[in-house]
Structure 1
């Protein structure tokens, strides 16, 4: 048995109780604190971390994606500014929604005595009333931060920010106001000559004066022309100037307008291949109209279908339609964004997707785990046999057989399965493959006394009363 693998596995073991995890707060386990502080934790362990004398532990817990905002807020008054700054930054995990800090905690961070903590809060806290309260602050950087909370500002606060003495504040305010105010869009354009890509992203949603839209359509760079071509508030007659633009991205955006018929789209020279990685169309993402989304899901324009797959207001009949789409990225995006996708669509997409994020589909609420062992346990195809290891009801005999498969991923997968026979699970604790050993130690069927024995053998002291 290898000490490193034992500790790593027990930290990841979902069945590890508080008295086991509390042992890992000891100095002897310090190199594992970050991993420990990032997992789901019992309240007793949270108590141990937030009151720990070790800054490393407290900073790591501030980034815990599973911890509630109330739990993380317990560190808002931490004596170390490094910890408070970490709380202000918060958990930033890819595609993982995070519970917000309570408003009182946000206000405390925004008014912290340490300038670095205040700065991190201004940059990272989500739009809120606490952030909006900085609109009248003497510091222009803090007024800029308030612009991010535009929806929480009243009309007078917005007006003052748009005429602020600091040009940086005026620019940020104009950016936020541009979605409903053509004058603000003109003001925003004055401050963004050197950031064409970011500016085009704003222009895709902005309200524009007809003269401004036409000027950008006729003389703008390719990013601005694409924004004019796709922005639904730009008059169709103006956007039509771009239907034959030499840049394909511009023609594609024009072909993705909501005011074109399918016949009109078919007349435009554009294409979308399965390998193209394209941003979703803003007006489709923002749409709450069921009929409009149905039209997007049924469109011959692949980009519109991909964009519709990302919209959380998509009706079930459109979800079912896109589940049969010929474009594989449509089905990937559908599974990533829609919780009611048919289970067989989720399974087929997982089976075919070779990208690094495919494992995320294992956590889809409709991933059909139960029954996979019966369907695929004896399949000659390795990928299908691998699917069988994800069945929570997989029989012990199958798991035992797969644990001896020549393909290493089977040994790794079954090592953490709670139905694996106890004898084989303990054998895998000492496997020559470190990942297999870790997963065996993470097996939720690992008996509590054995967890303690493994920590004993790794030199982790027992708790004293």
Structure 2
């Protein structure tokens, strides 16, 4: 692949005439890059689709091709892309429902709005993968039918389908009122009892690690229960018994349900698996009493999850700020805080609390300015990206805390050009700041030249439109292909150079 041509294909300044020339010579990679262009005319899109089917698929997904533009026989994957977008032809669906390529029928089974006769054909498909894919996306009536399919893999897919009727999901989750499954993917291929080696040496084996069957299809049924637990349409009443299940994965899924009754929340708060307690801790359905219990959990992940709960009381969040390792993130409860609450948080004696409120980007000017002179570096790192900060305020942060805040100051969208240049000359150097400056809209040619000296920042700087044309031309011969592509994709590349590069 010619990296220069690949970069040019992505260049927003490439004239239509040169785009035409690239379409004429496009291989798969080049065609896929050209398909990303938003300025392709319909004629160009059709020409590109006719040259490489991968590009046709992408263009179909983006709605830039119509039924008239695609030959379903020569371009079945592009036809499937339109069908997946509910914009294809019913006759295409009928043709593809009996396509000899299993992957094509499998993709068709996931398409919306299929004719009833196509659904019937797919439901009777000899390959269980096709039927399972249909079960995952199909209508309520068909899902109810497939819930009784003899293959456990199909039933498992029905359990994941949010269109499956609740009574059918209850039946699948409990196994009551339904005959046992007869087969699964494991016993289809192996003599039972069998447990799949996680380090299976067979290159063509696609069984999941640990997949097992002793005649009861246990690993597939476990997967079915997990899917039913994740499915919001599954009645919570039928899942309550799983709170004592031996599988922590099942209890984990249960803890995330938004319809947990209070008694079940209390039971799961004592679960021995930290992951279960952590998912419960961030579930908005839990009450304050359970939240306060989990806030003292020995696991830092659980305590952090309490902080992520949108309903956590502010006093509890204040206690967690210094113990839960929350990091620099805007918590839901902080984002929803009232003006009075924001004022109180900003005045907190705890730096961890002030850091949390400093992550908001809609702070009143007076609160923003107070936090901008905070003595604690982690508070400054959180406030440094706030819009409206002056050059003097940003400079003061760097003067007081240097490398600890330099990258965050560089990331502020309003950081002026002179300060960006100064940050690239900072001693000691701040490697992350180079990468930030290289992407900044206010970066100057001088700052970008310094960024080019950093290996990680070099491709980003090569793409910046403020880079001088002579430097761009030189970068087209760089030994790093990422840099070459970035320079070729740079809209500041002179038109005359583009013309010379395109065959």
Q: CA deviation at 1:16?
A: 0.9
The CA distance in 2 between the partners of 1:116 and 1:438, in whole Å, is 34
Deviation at 1:41, TM superposition (A): 4.7
Q: Which residue of 2 aligns with 1:455?
A: 502
The 3 A distance-change label for structure 1 pair 121 and 323 is farther
TM-score normalized with structure 1 length: 0.59
Name the SS of the counterpart of 2:276 in structure 1.
Answer: helix
Of 192, 214, 231, which residue of structure 2 is paired with 1:176?
Answer: 231
1:376 maps onto 2:430 in alignment: no
- Distance in 2 between the 1:304 and 1:193 partners? 42
Residues 159 and 41 (structure 1), Cα distance of their counterparts in 2 relative to 1, 3 Å cut: farther
Residue aligning to 2:5: 7
Aligned residue for 2:301? 249
Deviation at 1:15, TM superposition (A): 0.6
CA contact (8 A) 1:389 1:410 kept: yes
Q: Which residue of 1 aligns with 2:413?
A: 367
* 1:8-407 pair list within 5 angstroms: 8-27=6-25, 29-44=27-42, 45-52=44-51, 54-59=52-57, 61=59, 68=62, 70-71=63-64, 78-79=72-73, 80-83=75-78, 102-104=85-87, 113=97, 116-117=103-104, 119-120=106-107, 134-137=139-142, 138-140=145-147, 150=162, 157-163=165-171, 172-177=227-232, 182-183=236-237, 185-186=239-240, 193-194=246-247, 196-197=248-249, 199-200=251-252, 202-238=254-290, 242=294, 244-253=296-305, 258=311, 260=313, 262=315, 266=319, 271-273=323-325, 284=332, 291=338, 316-317=362-363, 367-368=413-414, 371-372=416-417, 376=421, 380-381=425-426, 398=446, 402=449
Deviates more, 1:167-176 or 1:17-26: 167-176
- Give deviations 1:70-112, integer Å, cap 9, x for gaps: 2377688743444456678xxxxxxxxxxxx755459999986
Q: Which ranges of structure 2 fall in alignment gaps of 5 or more residues?
A: 113-135, 148-152, 179-220
> Could you say if the C-alpha distance between residues 46 and 273 of structure 1 is closer, same or farther in structure 2, counting changes exceeding 3 Å?
same
The alpha carbon displacement at 1:178 in A equals 7.3
User: Larger relative contact order (C-alpha < 8 A, sep ≥ 6)?
Assistant: 1
Q: Which has the larger radius of gyration?
A: 2
Residues 229 and 239, structure 2, Cα contact 8 Å, conserved in 1 = yes
> Which ranges in structure 1 are unaligned for 5 or more consecutive residues?
89-100, 126-130, 457-465
Residues 160 and 231, structure 2, Cα contact 8 Å, conserved in 1: yes
Q: Is the 8 A contact 1:426 1:440 kept in 2?
A: yes
433, 441, 456: which one aligns with 2:488: 441
| C-alpha deviation, 1:35, in angstroms | 3.2
Per the TM alignment, residue 413 of structure 1 is displaced from its structure 2 partner at its CA by 6.0
Structure 1 residues 412 and 59: CA distance shift in structure 2, 3 A: same
- Count of residues paired in the alignment: 401
- Please report the RMSD computed on the Cα atoms of aligned residues, expressed in angstroms: 6.0
CA contact (8 A) 1:175 1:184 kept: no
Is contact 1:76-1:87 (8 Å) kept?
A: no
Distance (whole Å) between structure 1 residues aligned to residue 273 and residue 224 of structure 2: 26
Secondary structure, counterpart of 1:16 in structure 2: coil
